[in-house]
Amino acid sequence: MDVISTSGLTKYYGKARGVEDLTMAVPQGAVYGFLGPNGAGKTTTIRCLLGMLKPTAGSSSVLGERVTLDGAALRRRIGYVAGEVRLYEKETGRWHLDYVAGFRGTKGPLTAESLERFDLDPSRRVKELSKGNKQKLALILGMVHDSELLILDEPTSGLDPLNQEAVYSVIEERVAAGRTVFLSSHVLSEVERVCDKVGIIRSGRLVAEEGVKSLLGKRLREVEVTFADPVAASLLGELPGVDSVVAVSDQSLAARARRRDRRRAQADRKTEGQRYPHPARKPGGRVPGVLPR
């Protein structure tokens, strides 16, 4: 079953484009990365999925239920961490935890564990917290109730590397327990780290949706190769995976290439920094491989 599915989801703010004709599917038990630059429409999509925004056209369903503006019962099954943390500044973290517990009818089973894991003092007022601590509080509020679906909008924003790892660990634990995670981010390394499937959004449109491995395989890398002797740019141009080649100098060529499989890349890395003689002088006349910059 698809936990999230959209069909032609479109949202305009007056004449300004939010998202346009978005059709995607998030399978159960997956970590779906929603990747895109700033202003691409990631947050708009999430707000439509949560029933905070009324779509201009199209529809969406979450956990088997059609999304409406009044879906209180549906939101009981969702944990949400907003991209911009906006909480009640004069209230404490503890107050917020009790507030959320009141709505959900129960104290979050993972509250104590989460507070310890993220090392957050809940007695402090929100206005006294740093950006990172506010983000931690928002994460805890979104994750303590062990929801079927976690929707995380740039969850590691403002966090130090240790806490980022804590977030990734939580995601991995939840998925291992059968939950689904929808992760919005503009950081490719984050998506690479935890996601199974990626949807790339740009200018409000979904431009690609595929597995992470497949996507990474299409990623272009820039490499510069220096030879012992002057070479022609056409030397690298015919290699598989090379998109373009530019002569940097008589002996150096800069190429844009697609990433090869990991084992081959590791083998190539061993020869990084070495200078190769002109291929005409090497037995077989083959260039041994591109070296990452």
Partner 1 sequence: MSWTLLRGTLHQNRVSIFWFSFGLVLYSWMMTWFYPEIGGNQYAELVETMPAELMAIFGGTEVSFASLGGYFQTEYLGLMWMVIVASALIIYSAKAFAGEIAEGTMEFVLSQPVSRARLAITRIAVMVGYSLALAAGSLVPIMVFGSKYDIDLPLDTFWTLFAFGLLFMLAVGGFALMLSVIFRGAGKPGAISAGVLVVLWIADLVSNFSEAAELFDPINIVSYWQPSKIINGDPVDAAAWWLYGGVALVSAVAAVVVFRRRDAA
Segment near partner 1 (CB under 8 A); pick from 2-10, 50-58, 216-224, 248-256: 50-58
What is d(CA 56, CA 10) in angstroms, rounded to the nearest whole number?
5
183 near partner 1 (CB under 8 A): no
Segment near partner 1 (CB under 8 A); pick from 32-40, 102-110, 202-210, 255-263: 102-110
62 near partner 1 (CB under 8 A): no
- Token reading at 148: 């079927």
Among 8, 64, 66, 86, binds partner 1 (CB under 8 A): 86
Segment near partner 1 (CB under 8 A); pick from 90-98, 110-118, 156-164, 250-258: 90-98
What is d(CA 142, CA 132) in angstroms, rounded to the nearest whole number?
15
C-alpha pair distances (Å), 75 with each of 100, 107, 126, 153, 166: 12, 16, 24, 16, 25
Q: Which is nearer to partner 1, 73 or 280 (CB)?
A: 73
125 near partner 1 (CB under 8 A): no
Segment near partner 1 (CB under 8 A); pick from 89-97, 225-233, 239-247, 261-269: 89-97
Among 76, 127, 218, 262, binds partner 1 (CB under 8 A): 76
Among 87, 149, 191, 290, binds partner 1 (CB under 8 A): 87
Chain Cα centroid distance, residue 219: 15
By rule CB under 8 A, what count of residues binds partner 1?
28
107 near partner 1 (CB under 8 A): no
146 near partner 1 (CB under 8 A): no
64 near partner 1 (CB under 8 A): no
How near is the Cβ of 32 to partner 1 at its closest, in Å? 19
What is d(CA 182, CA 57) in angstroms, rounded to the nearest whole number?
22
Task: Match 């004709």 to its residue by tokens.
Answer: 21
Question: How many other C-beta atoms can be found within 10 angstroms of the C-beta atom of residue 44?
Answer: 23
Full 3-state SS string of 233-265: CHHHHCCCCEEEEEECCCCEEEEEEECCCHHHH
Query: Are 277 and 255 in contact, with CB atoms under 8 Å apart?
Result: no
End-to-end CA distance of the chain, in Å?
A: 43
Among 3, 67, 100, 149, binds partner 1 (CB under 8 A): 100
| Helix, strand, coil tally for the chain in percent (to 5) | 30, 30, 35
Among 78, 143, 166, 215, binds partner 1 (CB under 8 A): 78
DSSP lists the bridge partners of residue 56 as none
Helix (H, G, I), strand (E, B) or coil at 200: strand
Segment near partner 1 (CB under 8 A); pick from 1-9, 83-91, 198-206, 267-275: 83-91
Q: Which is nearer to partner 1, 15 or 90 (CB)?
A: 90
Going by DSSP bridges, is the β-strand pair 180-185/149-153 parallel, antiparallel, or unpaired?
Answer: parallel
How near is the Cβ of 21 to partner 1 at its closest, in Å? 19
Instruction: Enter the DSSP assignment of 280.
Output: G
118 near partner 1 (CB under 8 A): no
Helix (H, G, I), strand (E, B) or coil at 88: coil
Among 2, 91, 192, 224, binds partner 1 (CB under 8 A): 91
Which residues bind to partner 1, rule: CB under 8 A? 47, 50-54, 69-70, 72-73, 75-76, 78, 80, 82, 84, 86-88, 90-91, 95, 99-100, 102-104, 142
